[in-house]
Amino acid sequence: MSFSPLIKQLIENLQCLPGVGPKSAQRMALHLLERDRDRCRQLATTLREAADTVSRCDQCRTLTEQSLCDICSSARRDEALLCIVETPADVIAIEQAGGYRGKYFVLLGHLSPIDGIGPEDLGIDALVKRVEKRGVSEVILATNPTVEGEATAYFIIEQLRSSGVPVSRIAHGVPLGGELEFVDGGTLVHAFSGRTTVTESP
Amino acid sequence: MSFSPLIKQLIENLQCLPGVGPKSAQRMALHLLERDRDRCRQLATTLREAADTVSRCDQCRTLTEQSLCDICSSARRDEALLCIVETPADVIAIEQAGGYRGKYFVLLGHLSPIDGIGPEDLGIDALVKRVEKRGVSEVILATNPTVEGEATAYFIIEQLRSSGVPVSRIAHGVPLGGELEFVDGGTLVHAFSGRTTVTESP
């Protein structure tokens, strides 16, 4: 004996959310049904609407239900700077940090032959065309410092070589507030090889 | 600059789920939109269907979309035993433990004057009628061992006094596999006051 078929199905469906297992799904389902019917309906409506209408920005490929995202349609952003990131969440993180006033290109993933994700899935053709056509003066690679992120960055560097536009990679090293003692070896090696001179040589 | 209005709304709505804050909601929304549109639609459909059709079992008041839940409609369960619990999740926990073959009555909450939850919200009238009418030979109180759960249990004991049906409370004490050293004081006091004799007095 257990929950009724519909409640069982709801518990199962809730497990498609990342980080939600059977126990939390059960808690969520009962919470919604016991206390929050209206918000449950509202969530259903928003989920369906988002699944049906959210698409990609025509220019930067980020997720949006508009044809151009806010950043791409803004006249205040510097067209000459183009930052390449893996996901829309990365855009938000960079925006919240502040300081960057250029535009973005969102790959929505990284090269991963094992999952069948190739350059065409990441829109790299469109990226190359955009860099060649418009007055882009610098491309900043901000893919994740993981094996796949690095591979994707190097692939893009190769693709952009013929355009002659300078390509840079964001710095990797010891994070601010981090203590050297607790930073992993890979990051320390990066921090040393990427060191910058602070005094002129005599 | 941040997410588009619809994605923002989805992230906000997902926060109605228990245990989901802004960060996990963002992760859920992007996961669904980047990878799982079909399951997103499926979840939306199930949420709406559940919110619209899940109601209460006519007999035991548990959440179900049927008029009688599986346990109430089962002929194999002992009508003479009635176990009173706070939520449908408690029913599942007792069923999974096995051993209990009687029926249930689900309060869907506990007395909580501060939240405006009184006896009428817990269906205690229906409970008293059911105990008086049908051949119930024992009522087992399995509300939570919290202040509200205990208060609810004592209120029900008072309401059922006139029916003459014996009422019992499940045992509270040291959990199996628990080490005495790590059990809280309240539980230990309960364990001592609820001790059972294991040898006959001479």
Tell me if A18 and B41 make a contact (CB, 8 A cut-off). Answer: no
Calpha distance B156→B165 (Å, rounded):
12
Tell me if A63 and B30 make a contact (CB, 8 A cut-off). Answer: yes
Residue with more model confidence, A196 or A32: A32
- Interface contact B68, partner A, CB < 8 A: no
For the sheet with A167-169, list strands across it.
Answer: A102-106, A78-85, A138-141, A167-169
Which of B16, B24, B71 should be substituted to probe chain A, the one whose Cβ sees the most A Cβ atoms within 10 Å? B16
- Interface contact A3, partner B, CB < 8 A: yes
Read off the pLDDT band of A24 (50, 70, 90). very high
pLDDT in tens, B24-76: 999 999 999 988 899 999 999 999 999 999 999 999 999 999 999 999 999 99
Per CB-CB distance under 8 Å, the chain A contacts of B83 are none
Q: Is the pLDDT of residue A178 over 70?
A: yes
Hey, where are the domains in chain B? 5-53, 78-169, 173-202
3 state DSSP class of B79: strand
The pLDDT > 90 percentage for chain B reads 65
Query: DSSP letters of A73-137?
Result: H-TTSEEEEEEEESSHHHHHHHHHH----EEEEE-SS--BGGGTB-GGGGTHHHHHHHHHHTT--
Residue with more model confidence, B180 or A200: B180
- Interface contact A30, partner B, CB < 8 A: yes
Q: Is the distance from CB of A12 to CB of A21 less than 8 angstroms? A: no
Tell me if A50 and B1 make a contact (CB, 8 A cut-off). Answer: no
Per CB-CB distance under 8 Å, the chain A contacts of B52 are 41
- Interface contact A189, partner B, CB < 8 A: no
3 state DSSP class of B129: helix
User: pLDDT at position A199, please?
Assistant: 81
Q: Is the pLDDT of residue B1 over 80?
A: no
Q: Is the pLDDT of residue B152 over 70?
A: yes
Calpha distance A89→A94 (Å, rounded):
9
3 state DSSP class of B69: coil
Per CB-CB distance under 8 Å, the chain B contacts of A27 are 18-19, 89
Which ipTM value was assigned to this complex?
0.84
Q: What are the distances in angstroms from CA A69 to CA A3, A81, A92, A106?
A: 43, 17, 13, 11
pLDDT in tens, A52-93: 999 999 999 999 999 999 999 999 999 899 999 999 999 999
Min distance A163 CA to chain B CA atoms (Å): 30
| Average of per-residue pLDDT values in chain A | 90
Min distance B130 CA to chain A CA atoms (Å): 22
For domain A78-169, is the CATH number 3.40.1360.10?
yes
CA dihedral B32, A123, A55, A16 (to 10 degrees): -10
Q: Is the pLDDT of residue B201 over 70?
A: no
Min distance A89 CA to chain B CA atoms (Å): 8
User: pLDDT at position B202, please?
Assistant: 66
The strand pair at A138-141 and A167-169 is best described as parallel
Please give the CATH topology (third level) of the domain spanning B5-53. Answer: Helicase, Ruva Protein; domain 3 (1.10.8)
3 state DSSP class of B160: helix
DSSP H or E stretch at residue A61: none
Which of A8, A10, A13, A17 should be substituted to probe chain B, the one whose Cβ sees the most B Cβ atoms within 10 Å? A17
- What mean pLDDT is predicted for residues A92-99? 89
User: pLDDT at position A1, please?
Assistant: 55
Instruction: List all residues of chain B from 102 to 121 with a beta carbon under 8 Å from chain A.
Output: 108-109
**Residue B51: phi, psi to the nearest 5?**
-60, -35
